Chain A
Amino acid sequence: MDGLLLARIQFALTIGYHFLFPSLTMGTAWVLVVLEGIAFFRKDTGVLRFARLLAKIFVITFAIGVGSGIIMSFQFGTNWSRFSVMVNDVIGSFLLPEVVFAFFLESTFMGIYVFGRGRVPKPLHWVSIIMVALGVTMSAFWILSANSWMHTPAGYALSHGKIVLTDFWTAVINHTTIIRFLHTFDSSLVYSAFFLLGMLSWMLLKGKDADVARKLFGGALLFALITSVVQVFPFGHSSIVSVERHQKAKFATLEAVSRSTNELGLILFGVPSPNPPYTLWKIEFPGIMNPLLGTNNTYTITGLDAIPADNRPPLVLTFITFHLMVYLGGLFIAAALLGFILQRLKKLESFPPLLWFFVFGIPLPMVAIEAGWITTEVGRQPWIIQDILRTRDAVTVIAPGEVLFSIILIGALELLFLALYITLVVRTIRKGPEAGNGEAKNG
């Protein structure tokens, strides 16, 4: 195998693995801010017991997220050195604030949050989880700003084959930063909402601290409903509109648009194929794409026929992951809505199938998130920086054996720790909140 392919495999595995964890901790940090706040201000020991249970999961998720994330900040140098030399003038000025404003904040206050329970004053303990939440959120902002810049570069100039920063804020808030941040942040809220629903459902089904679960269920359902609705509209919708505006090849690929047209339907179902006509057994809602994109029917949507073959992303994977994400997004809204209605009618507990769905559906938002990221990253290929630098020109010239060694080393380790992580999370959820008034014995 060649070094480029191996480097891409390594990057895909490590980033895909890493994001399993921050995608949960970002939303959960804010959930804990609310729960710890309720426990503190209302002196609610039941909620505190539950918060401590969630905090346990939060801690083990955070730890593995930090561990797997450190790799990323070295990988640009080990495997993508030509990328680093060419663009760090811009990218570096987004990543440094991530370290200085976010990583230190979250790590330091995480120590206070975890070890400070029962040892530092309660208001300070609550502030510490707020600081952690701010840290993880800022971290997401800066890394998404860097990622967005690679999709829609702005605020730069080319000089002697290198990219130099000309306008910091234009580069940071490039065409897609805000919408990507909102879409990603909300995806994490959806994940944490369904995680919460899964845990609470288990408590109801098994009668573990069921009163607390009952008290929190309504709020959790409302949270899940709101976050999963806004995830589709406006955030998902705006994302796709911005892809159509700024990354024609990606849009044509994920919707399998074979020919440029001003009369495009929305594909409800189809089996993708790498060759024209790109979709088999297609079921579509005809003629709706222009209105959906907010354009009139004289606007031409670019098709794959207008894009040179060596500028097209891989179609099958992009198409599948995109539609998987969309279907799951619909499922989340449906489940949250059904739960919300049943809860209003006080019929929730007499309908266990939904509760079981919430329990076993815990990983589904994570699947949707990973699918969405595969869509956006594979959809940018063959470019690492859209229309500026090709992925194949960004890689370090290095012995493939060393890359293979690193994949096996890190891969084996991450697999092992994933197994340990899942075991611990499942065990923690099954066990439920610990008895008592939720106060710490020894921090």
Chain B
Amino acid sequence: MDSLAVVWFVLEAVFLAFYAVLDGFDLGVGTLFAFAKTEEEKRTWLGSIGPVWNGNEVWAIGAVGTLLAVFPPVYAALLSTLYVPVYLVLASLIIRAVAIEYRTSLRDGFVKSLLDVGIVGGSGFVAFALGFAGGNILHGLPFNGNLAPQGSFLALFHPLSVIGGLASLAFFCLHGASWLVVKTEGETQKRAKRFVKVLRVAFPALLLVTAVTSAFAVDSSLLHGVPGKPGFWIPAVLAVAALGLSIGFSLTEKPLFSFIANGATVAALVALGACILFPAMLPSSLPGIAALTVANSAVSHTALTVNLITATIGVPFVIAYTVFSYFLFRGKATDGHY
């Protein structure tokens, strides 16, 4: 196996983790937007994610772009097998993007309330779909030896994907609610705290159900020897510890630390998924079809090298100006009108 391909597998997980940590909270804020009451409150909520959500979303393109550029067979099999959910996610992303940016230019009325529904539906569906996709990947997807999808859309619904989806929905809402606690004050903050109170129970419960379901539903080739791997125990323990810290910090009224601990939780969960998969990347649920692996999916050594140079030059800048932008808009959120 080309060691650069392994580096890229790690980077893929890192990009996904960045996406979950960063876009995660604005997806959560978008989902919880259903409960925002006054116009002022709505503007404050959207103002809290307004300057940064677009940049956050680019990490998704980074993760998908990495699959496209480095592991084309995985990219092709994953997206064509998840065809219908992928288009629902794309539709959700467009709705969300347009709704968030356009509602400030509109007067109150039918179109504006439709856009508000779009923000909730679009964000909520993406939040669900990420766990749904994760469950499907670990379960194995129905593609044949030519990477062509087999079987219907309904085959994608099974206990692991559905529970995984609900768990991720709950997590992103928790993450979003924690963000609102950090970024708002007064009445709005009180309400955000109530969301956290519910979600810090709901998410761990759903996570536990997901974990139990996984033991039965994860593709058998992946589970072989897993419980003995340090790659399994280390991220699992870290995830539990981070989640414990998140709950602890929210109980002791340290919202920023709780928010950061949420991020660590989801990053550890992404790492856990990656460790369970490695060296495979995408198992097939069809009998007798070998999984796509890091080794058999990576592009040529030349392309791996070129891409690594690109990432090495580019990503540090991205991180630098992302940090800078969060620093600029630190403090309590204001009206999102511009």
Q: Are A67 and B76 in contact (CB under 8 A)?
A: no
**A77 and B55 in contact, given A114-B338, A417-B94 (Cβ under 8 angstroms):** no
| Stretch from A160-168, A235-243, A319-327, A337-345 contacting the other chain | A160-168
Tell me how far the C-beta of B324 lies from the nearest C-beta in chain A, rounded to whole angstroms. 8
**A443 and B68 in contact, given A60-B101, A64-B98 (Cβ under 8 angstroms):** no
Tell me how far the C-beta of A237 lies from the nearest C-beta in chain B, rounded to whole angstroms. 33
> Which bracket fits the contact residues of A?
35 or more
From B47, B72, B313, B329, name the one whose CB has the most chain A CB atoms within 10 angstroms: B72
A89 interfacial contact with B, CB 8 Å: yes
Tell me how far the C-beta of B315 lies from the nearest C-beta in chain A, rounded to whole angstroms. 6
Interface of A is mostly: helix
Interface of chain B residues 298 through 338 with chain A (CB within 8 A): 299-300, 302-303, 306-307, 310-311, 313-315, 317-318, 321-322, 325, 328-329, 334-338
Which residues from B are CB-within-8-Å of A402?
Answer: 83-84, 153
**A107 and B58 in contact, given A405-B84, A406-B83 (Cβ under 8 angstroms):** yes
Tell me how far the C-beta of B203 lies from the nearest C-beta in chain A, rounded to whole angstroms. 27
Interface of chain B residues 140 through 154 with chain A (CB within 8 A): 146-149, 153
Q: Are A424 and B105 in contact (CB under 8 A)?
A: yes
Q: Are B146 and A88 in contact (CB under 8 A)?
A: no
Which of A74, A100, A112, A420 sits near B325, CB closer than 8 Å?
A112
Which of A84, A114, A120 sits near B75, CB closer than 8 Å?
A84
Q: Are A93 and B69 in contact (CB under 8 A)?
A: yes
Which residues from B are CB-within-8-Å of A166?
Answer: 302
B110-124 interface code vs A (CB 8 A; 1 in, 0 out): 010000000000000
B73 interfacial contact with A, CB 8 Å: yes
Interface of chain A residues 27 through 69 with chain B (CB within 8 A): 56, 59-60, 63-64, 66-68
Q: Are B306 and A165 in contact (CB under 8 A)?
A: yes
A390 interfacial contact with B, CB 8 Å: no
Q: Are A410 and B325 in contact (CB under 8 A)?
A: no
From A67, A90, A164, name the one whose CB has the most chain B CB atoms within 10 angstroms: A67
Which residues from B are CB-within-8-Å of A79?
Answer: 80
Tell me how far the C-beta of A129 lies from the nearest C-beta in chain B, rounded to whole angstroms. 14
Tell me how far the C-beta of B87 lies from the nearest C-beta in chain A, rounded to whole angstroms. 4
A85 interfacial contact with B, CB 8 Å: yes
Q: Are A100 and B311 in contact (CB under 8 A)?
A: yes
B215 interfacial contact with A, CB 8 Å: no
Complex CA gap A322/B70 in Å reads 37
Nearest CB in chain A to that of B88: its residue: A409
Which of B84, B97, B313, B315 sits near A66, CB closer than 8 Å?
B97
Which residues from B are CB-within-8-Å of A114?
Answer: 50-51, 338
Interface of B is mostly: helix
Which of B51, B76, B96 sits near A115, CB closer than 8 Å?
B51
Q: Are B303 and A84 in contact (CB under 8 A)?
A: no
**A409 and B302 in contact, given A73-B65, A107-B58, A420-B111 (Cβ under 8 angstroms):** no
Q: Are A165 and B302 in contact (CB under 8 A)?
A: yes
Complex CA gap A90/B51 in Å reads 34
A396 interfacial contact with B, CB 8 Å: yes
Tell me how far the C-beta of A268 lies from the nearest C-beta in chain B, rounded to whole angstroms. 42
B85-104 interface code vs A (CB 8 A; 1 in, 0 out): 01110110111111011100
**A90 and B86 in contact, given A99-B65, A111-B51, A398-B149 (Cβ under 8 angstroms):** no
A92 interfacial contact with B, CB 8 Å: yes
From B60, B73, B84, name the one whose CB has the most chain A CB atoms within 10 angstroms: B84
Tell me how far the C-beta of B320 lies from the nearest C-beta in chain A, rounded to whole angstroms. 10
Which of A111, A399, A440 sits near B54, CB closer than 8 Å?
A111
Which residues from B are CB-within-8-Å of A117?
Answer: 338
Nearest CB in chain B to that of A101: its residue: B314
A71 interfacial contact with B, CB 8 Å: yes
Nearest CB in chain A to that of B104: its residue: A59
Q: Are A108 and B322 in contact (CB under 8 A)?
A: yes
Complex CA gap A111/B302 in Å reads 36
Nearest CB in chain A to that of B76: its residue: A81
Q: Are A96 and B90 in contact (CB under 8 A)?
A: no
Nearest CB in chain A to that of B62: its residue: A99
Nearest CB in chain A to that of B101: its residue: A63
Tell me how far the C-beta of B182 lies from the nearest C-beta in chain A, rounded to whole angstroms. 17
Q: Are B337 and A105 in contact (CB under 8 A)?
A: no
Interface of chain B residues 35 through 81 with chain A (CB within 8 A): 47, 50-55, 57-58, 60-62, 64-70, 72-73, 75-80
Which residues from B are CB-within-8-Å of A56?
Answer: 105
Q: Are A116 and B94 in contact (CB under 8 A)?
A: no
Q: Are B87 and A78 in contact (CB under 8 A)?
A: yes
Nearest CB in chain B to that of A98: its residue: B65
A91-130 interface code vs B (CB 8 A; 1 in, 0 out): 0110111111101110111111011110110000000000
A388 interfacial contact with B, CB 8 Å: no
Complex CA gap A396/B81 in Å reads 10
Nearest CB in chain B to that of A83: its residue: B76
Complex CA gap A406/B83 in Å reads 9
Complex CA gap A99/B62 in Å reads 6
Besides A95-B68, A107-B57, 20 other CB < 8 A contacts?
A60-B102, A67-B96, A70-B57, A77-B76, A84-B68, A92-B307, A104-B321, A107-B54, A109-B325, A111-B329, A112-B325, A117-B338, A119-B328, A168-B302, A406-B84, A424-B105, A424-B106, A442-B334, A442-B335, A443-B338
A→B interface (CB under 8 Å):
56, 59-60, 63-64, 66-68, 70-71, 73-74, 76-79, 81-82, 84-85, 88-90, 92-93, 95-101, 103-105, 107-112, 114-117, 119-120, 164-166, 168, 396-399, 402, 405-406, 409-410, 413-414, 417, 420, 424, 428, 440, 442-443
Give 30 A-B contacts (CB < 8 Å), ordered by A residue: A59-B101, A63-B102, A66-B54, A71-B94, A73-B64, A73-B65, A79-B80, A81-B77, A81-B80, A89-B300, A92-B68, A92-B70, A92-B299, A92-B307, A95-B65, A99-B58, A103-B58, A108-B54, A108-B55, A111-B55, A119-B328, A165-B306, A168-B306, A402-B83, A405-B84, A406-B83, A410-B91, A417-B98, A420-B98, A420-B102
B→A interface (CB under 8 Å):
47, 50-55, 57-58, 60-62, 64-70, 72-73, 75-80, 83-84, 86-88, 90-91, 93-98, 100-102, 105-106, 111, 146-149, 153, 299-300, 302-303, 306-307, 310-311, 313-315, 317-318, 321-322, 325, 328-329, 334-338
Closest 9 CB pairs of A and B: A92-B69, A77-B79, A81-B76, A100-B314, A63-B101, A88-B72, A67-B97, A111-B51, A67-B94
